[in-house]
Structure 1
Amino acid sequence: MPTHGKSVILESGKRGIHQSGKGAVFAEDGSCKTCCGCEPFLLASATTNRNNPPWNLTPYQGEHMAPPNSYWRLIEMGSCYPGWHPWYGAGCVNGSGRLVGLPNQFQSNYYYNGYMQLQIGCLDPADPNYILWPGSCQSRTPRYSC
């Protein structure tokens, strides 16, 4: 029976709205099927320097933060220099959507204001040896293992 925000399309699943706002197919238990795909997105951002308090990352450590089996990275964004944006952490997202290995906080050691992003990336459907990231700088990088 259809429910608010979902409608039955097959006995094996339901159709709903993915975090990206696009349609998705979910199993009866609410998990996203492989055919849902994955859309890279920005989970959080902060501007910080060594004089600011640490950026608290604990709000992003729970379950259902990102699509299962996707990737995360903590990256400093600025001018789009080819091949250069410092990464301050990276890891995988487990089956429950938890960002494995995400630190509790980020503390900048720089005097300048750095624009930090916590990004969620997805395997490139055209070549699973690469990860696609949101934005236009380093938007495709080699896949790493966790």
Structure 2
Amino acid sequence: MCLISFESEVNNIRKQYEAQGFEVVIPKTNILAEFPVAWVDKNVQANGTEKAAKAYLNWLYSPQAQTIITDFYYRVNNPEVMDKLKDKFPQTELFRVEDQFWLLAGSDENPLRQRRRTGQTVGGGALSKCSQYRQDVCCPALP
């Protein structure tokens, strides 16, 4: 049996079912999975939560929070935190999909890119609907 998934998911499954002896193989090159945080001015202003939102964002990128995040097998961008956890995270070359597959992801001939730019939904999911209405927020890299 083989499971292909995000590194964090595979390691959490291995930890949860430790007695079953799952082997985890991390490829030498791997996709960089980024989880961005969004600040929405109108929501913050409407709810009066600017101070709390700023405090959360400042804490989220602190060494303490970044270390907690690695407890769930997520790689973080803090080099000092990652340096302390070399044994937990094997050396791998991470790449962005758009950098590696630019002919597909970034090309104007790519049908998915054309649909997103013209406001057509791809699959009708939440992100598709979001990009249809607020492309500047969801898909800022697209012209």
Flag whether TM exceeds 0.5 (same fold). Answer: no
| Structure richer in strand, relative to its length | 1
TM-score, normalization: structure 1?
A: 0.28
Q: Using CA pairs below 8 Å that are at least 6 residues apart, which structure has the higher relative contact order?
A: 1
TM-score, normalization: structure 2?
A: 0.28
